[in-house]
Amino acid sequence: MQNPTFFLYDENTAESLRSEELAEFLKGAFAAPVEVREEFVGRHLGRWGEEERRGWLEELARRFAYLRVRDVNRENSFSDPLPMEVDVERRRLLNENRGSFGMAVDGFQFQACMRELLPVEERGLQHLHIIFTNRLLATWEADDRRYHLRTIILGQPAVISTSGLVEAPAKPREYYLIRQRLPDDELARVNLLRQFAGRFLEHSDARTNQVVKGYLMQAAFYLLFGERFCKDPDCRLFNAHWQEEMLHAQLRPEAGLCEKHEEMVEELRAKS
């Protein structure tokens, strides 16, 4: 059987993301062909005629507005969106305003919508799709009965949230303690960020590209081997809940895979 091909979709909202470099990385790591494509929705709606495409855009705008997580403590806290909310989503889909990441949407439902857009011939595991987005994605956690922001939604297509890398893993405890006591003042907030500089990822952080490589590996391991994350904090597949864990797993000069996962890719490379 031929090696599967990876498809990376870049919506161009994270300036520190260098998709060609990420493609090279993935290609080297898994000895698999990688193709960089433009933003996912635009790409896949491109095969429809004008009228159908417009119908799809309306439908997606409505669905994404509906899928906003309106109450983090209530499962499926969706409600019929206001026309204004649908309009924000429509403009986002038309590439008129992708700047802000806004409210989180339900990650699994978002992924399901994206999967529907894939052409039938690209749905199998010979085509491995990975989307980068600056949307915030959240999933319901049954253990503590609340929604949590996510860095990545594993599956087909895998979705990596670049805003999620900043917002989902928690910052150091001391950071929150100090922030609680801060006056409502922009300068104080800037100073606090400066005080903790380097200990967590910020928006437009130059280190994002390097961190994303680890998340690409997580997406690929799930698609290729059905492997979900790793318990070893030194492995790039580690499911970090803290910023410092994430930076440790992804940014050390020797950052890489644990022995077990390294063996799995070596075996794959040997076969190709």
Between 16 and 210, name the residue whose CB sits nearer to Zn ion. Answer: 210
Q: Nearest approach, Cβ of 224 to Zn ion (angstroms)?
A: 14
Instruction: Compute CA 205 distance to the chain's CA centroid, rounded to the nearest angstrom.
Output: 15
Q: Nearest approach, Cβ of 142 to Zn ion (angstroms)?
A: 25
Residues that bind Zn ion (CB under 5 A): 230, 232, 235, 237, 258, 261
Between 58 and 232, name the residue whose CB sits nearer to Zn ion. Answer: 232
Q: Nearest approach, Cβ of 227 to Zn ion (angstroms)?
A: 8
Between 150 and 261, name the residue whose CB sits nearer to Zn ion. Answer: 261
Q: Nearest approach, Cβ of 7 to Zn ion (angstroms)?
A: 25
Q: Contacts for 221-225 with beta carbons within 8 Å, 24 or more apart?
A: 221/261, 221/264, 222/154, 222/155, 222/158, 223/4, 223/125, 223/128, 223/155, 223/156, 223/158, 224/4, 224/30, 224/128, 224/268, 225/264
Between 158 and 265, name the residue whose CB sits nearer to Zn ion. Answer: 265
- Token pair belonging to 66: 């509906």
Between 129 and 261, name the residue whose CB sits nearer to Zn ion. Answer: 261
Q: Where are the alpha helices (DSSP H) in 79-172?
A: 83-93, 107-117, 162-167
Between 23 and 235, name the residue whose CB sits nearer to Zn ion. Answer: 235
Q: Nearest approach, Cβ of 165 to Zn ion (angstroms)?
A: 19
* Pair 223, 30: CB distance under 8 Å: no
Q: Where are the alpha helices (DSSP H) in the chain?
A: 19-30, 40-45, 50-66, 83-93, 107-117, 162-167, 173-181, 186-195, 208-225, 243-251, 259-271
Between 173 and 231, name the residue whose CB sits nearer to Zn ion. Answer: 231
| Cα 185 to Cα 176, 179, 189, distances in angstroms | 15, 11, 7
Q: Nearest approach, Cβ of 232 to Zn ion (angstroms)?
A: 5
Q: How far apart are CA 129 and CA 28, in angstroms?
A: 17
Q: Where are the alpha helices (DSSP H) in 196-258?
A: 208-225, 243-251
Q: Nearest approach, Cβ of 235 to Zn ion (angstroms)?
A: 3
